[in-house]
Amino acid sequence: MNIKLYPFDDLTISALQATMYNALVKYGDYTPLGDVLTEHEKLAVLVREIGEVAEDVPPYGAKAEPENLVGELLQVAAMALSWAQSLDVPETESVAAKCPYCGKMFYAMPLHDPLKHHIQYCDRRPEDDDDDE
């Protein structure tokens, strides 16, 4: 079997990072990235997001509304990756996250603590992106 790996485009990666960041801002530690939820609760979050994808898939033969479907699929990916990042995995360069503003890479596990702190104080963060509201 010949398998080709295609990298995600920058727009998809940026949208995924924004979705993960928005979930962190909205729900804080009550996301798969946080340490409040049990593994079963994290699974419930992921399954709920998959259910929302199912609601946006049209009946057989009908055309999907891509705007809604893409948003829900990004939420599934964001919750799955957030859960993966929350697991206690030894530090490795194969697992990394990047600041969406300056591009700084983070390799420590779990990624969310140093990345979340960096994003909050990043020099290149737009001024209208404040969490303090």
Contacts of 30 (CB under 8 A, 6+ apart): 36, 37
Side-chain half-sphere of 110: how many Cα atoms within 13 Å?
16
Tell me what pLDDT residue 37 has. Answer: 92
Tell me what pLDDT residue 90 has. Answer: 60
Contacts of 16 (CB under 8 A, 6+ apart): 8, 74, 77, 78, 81
The better pLDDT of the pair 57, 128 is held by 57
> How much is the average pLDDT of 48-57?
91
Contact between residue 109 and residue 85 where contact means Cβ atoms under 8 Å apart: yes
Q: Is the pLDDT assigned to residue 123 strictly greater than 70?
A: yes
